A and B are shown apart, each in its own frame.
Chain A
Amino acid sequence: MAVTTSDMTASAQTMNNVEAVRATLYDALRSDDRVIILGEDVGARGNVFLITKDFIDEFGERRIIDTPIAEASIVGIAVGMAMEGLRPIAEIQFADFIYPAFNQIVGEAAKTRYRSNGEYTCPLVIRTPYGGGVRGALSHSVSVEALFYHVPGLKIVAPAFPADVKGLLNASIDDPDPVLFLEHKKTYRLIKGEVPAGHYTIPIGKANLLKEGTQLSVVSYGLYVHWALEAANALDAEGISVEVIDLRSIRPMDRGTILQSVEKTRKLLIVHEDNKFGGVGAEISAMVAEEALFHLDAPIRRLCAPDVPAMGYAETLEHEYMSSPAKIAAAMRELATF
């Protein structure tokens, strides 16, 4: 996992998502003294996924800060740092632990610019691994995006591919306002891809049309993007043409790309791992119903997790909770032939 800058700038490299996060953080620390990483076990332990391994040796305890198990403090301190000119990257070890920091994120960070009449901004990145499928059970599996996407003033990104991880993490660090950066933990080592060399950004709020199709639009993000793509490719063989959109950013949301696609295919399937009620799919559905009703040739369909308090630990329960390429393909097939 050793990453050096020279490796990074030479040429495009194949990485998994964990390596992409690590490489991007490393470059940010190297190129900008204001960048500081703080969180539980980010220093001596080098993060539970070894994302910040050995960073403390190179950048020191003042820039790689091990914090107590106190999420409200992690984010609260980072808000102060950001307001005073630093570029903190706060880590919440698992998204499941983010709740104590809710006030600091929603009540403080998101409102800083407004409250100070633009005098202060809060250029803060909060990174956190989320999502299931890793037998993480009750407290290592949640999706938290719907709890935060209601909040104006907060940006939320959830990239699925290593190249997007790098481009969007760079954009998040550069952004003058707070960004919640969601990393799907099952994709960490599962997903590999080419990552361009050098510093680049991908605009926050821009979706990616991964696969063009004519009969049905599928919108997803995170791990399920990969499964939706797999299902869509499989359906090509059946003569069913599916368009796949990777949302990449949850807020701001790329309404134009979604609407353009739905106006073409006239059918919309939204797939996400978070539960259905009030989820991101609800906002997409409402938006499409408001803007493109007379293009719809079928009811909008949402394939989401059941509304239960948590993902079960038992493998069968986890499977029941999670979707799969086969389940997504079945929903696509049904909607395409509606």
Chain B
Amino acid sequence: MPTTVTMPQLGETVTEGTVAQWLKRPGDNVEKYEPFVEVSTDKVNAEVPAPVSGVLRELLVKEGETVATGTPIAVIDSVEAATDTSRVEANRMASDEPMPGGPSAQPRSNGHAARPAEPAFVPAQVLRGVSPAVRRLAREHSVDVRALKGTGSGGRVTAQDVIGAAATTPSVAAGLVVSSGTSTYAQPLPGTTIPLNQARKIIAQRMVESKHTAPHAWSTVEVDVTMLWKWRDREKAAFERETGYKLTLLPFFIRAVVQSLATFPLVNGRFANDGIQVLKDVNIGIAIGLASNLVVPVVRNADRLTIKALGVAAGELVNKARKNKLGPDDLAGGTFTVNNNGANGSILSAPIINGGQAGIVTMEAVVKRPVVVEGDAIAIRQMMNCCLSLDHRVLDGYTASGFLADLKRRLESMGPDGTI
């Protein structure tokens, strides 16, 4: 029995939706309630569950296409009906796939190869062998089940396989940027045009808006984080054991930023036509780079949180971002932004300010450098640059450099002891 699936109405006032990504290909098995397509509106992305179990026969709408709610977008054959495999093959939209249409174990086009196993993305034929224990362990240890070679019957990935992989593979659970060493960026084919998806359209629009309306100015400081690094190292294991998240420098950095914002409230301001609004709430946006997207979820009232709580909040937001589960509440209300830009080795950048804010500050790569210290001695220290972009309508260099100097002083006085 073929079942036609239509574009769902995602929200009361929503009249159309864009197929952001097909999570299944024609010929793939889908289970009832299993997400098989990602739909985006101007607000949110949502995974749409399959209404029936069966084989996905036909995709009626291409990725990036926007259609009215109620428009048929796909046809699913219930299992009994889908015996004519040649027809399924004929309907395969292979030419529309930006990636080489490989076997199911290939990462999807938004592909983080090392993303934690997420049932929604695991094709049904693999899903059948994924036991509850494997799912749980894969999630806990951030292991991608699809990348493992199973030692169970029929090549099934066993719980032991996941534990073995977790012991040998570095985890990416709380890194903010997909690390270059382990991930596969989706590489488009030269000579093709990638249609604009909803997220890309919004990013483009906002970047242009910010860059055109806010006159950007830049400033950079060098920060000695040797002591902070030691402190982080000492807290790392306990934090991970307690919370399940990796402890990066980010929560320490946010803590220093919110304290500096308290000293320089103007930096937590915004330019409006009737004046400069100095904001009460301190909501810190965290720029998270995904392979095909950029999201900036917000830690609300970050000035009221401990380093530990900031670490948990950031970890949760990163997880949600990876799983495409951020809702409108996670993304709204930011007053200042931090960007952990250094994960891939960048030491200097000039970020674009998130619209409606006065600035954005980066954490560049931490590198060991010979540094002249007190008494004109040369020591090996762990150094990190912090680059601030500021809206020159709101701030001048005087305040900006005061803010940066304060931030530098705070970061350098963190560690090697303390309580997170």
Contact = CB atoms under 8 A, between A and B. Distances in A.
Contacts of A266: 131, 133, 159
A296 to B, nearest CB: 5
A216 B133 CA distance: 14
Interface residues of A, number: 9
Nearest to B158: A297
A292 to B, nearest CB: 9
B305 to A, nearest CB: 30
Interface in B92-136: 131-136
A294 B136 CA distance: 6
Contacts of B132: 293-297
B135 A294 contact: yes
Interface in B114-169: 131-136, 152-153, 156, 158-160
A293 B133 CA distance: 7
B156 A296 contact: no
Given A266-B159, A297-B158, A297-B159, A337 B153 contact: yes
A298 B153 CA distance: 11
A93 to B, nearest CB: 46
B133 A294 contact: yes
A295 B133 contact: yes
Interface residues of B, number: 12
Nearest to B152: A338
A338 B136 CA distance: 18
Contacts of B134: 297
Contacts of B133: 266, 294-297
Given A266-B159, A297-B158, A337 B131 contact: no
A293 B158 CA distance: 15
Nearest to B136: A294
Given A297-B158, A297-B159, A337 B152 contact: yes
Nearest to B139: A294
A297 B135 CA distance: 9
A276 B143 CA distance: 37
Contacts of A293: 132
Nearest to B160: A297
Contacts of B135: 294
A97 B299 CA distance: 71
A109 B250 CA distance: 67
B166 to A, nearest CB: 14
B368 to A, nearest CB: 43
Nearest to A293: B132
Nearest to B140: A294
Contacts of A295: 132-133, 136
Contacts of B160: 297
Nearest to B129: A338
A238 B132 CA distance: 27
Contacts of A294: 132-133, 135-136
Interface string A275-300: 00000000000000000011111100
24 contacts: A266-B131, A266-B133, A293-B132, A294-B132, A294-B133, A294-B135, A294-B136, A295-B132, A295-B133, A295-B136, A296-B131, A296-B132, A296-B133, A297-B131, A297-B132, A297-B133, A297-B134, A297-B158, A297-B160, A337-B152, A337-B153, A338-B153, A338-B156, A338-B158
Given A266-B131, A296-B131, A296-B133, 14 more contacts: A266-B133, A293-B132, A294-B132, A294-B133, A295-B132, A295-B133, A296-B132, A297-B131, A297-B132, A297-B158, A297-B159, A337-B152, A338-B152, A338-B156
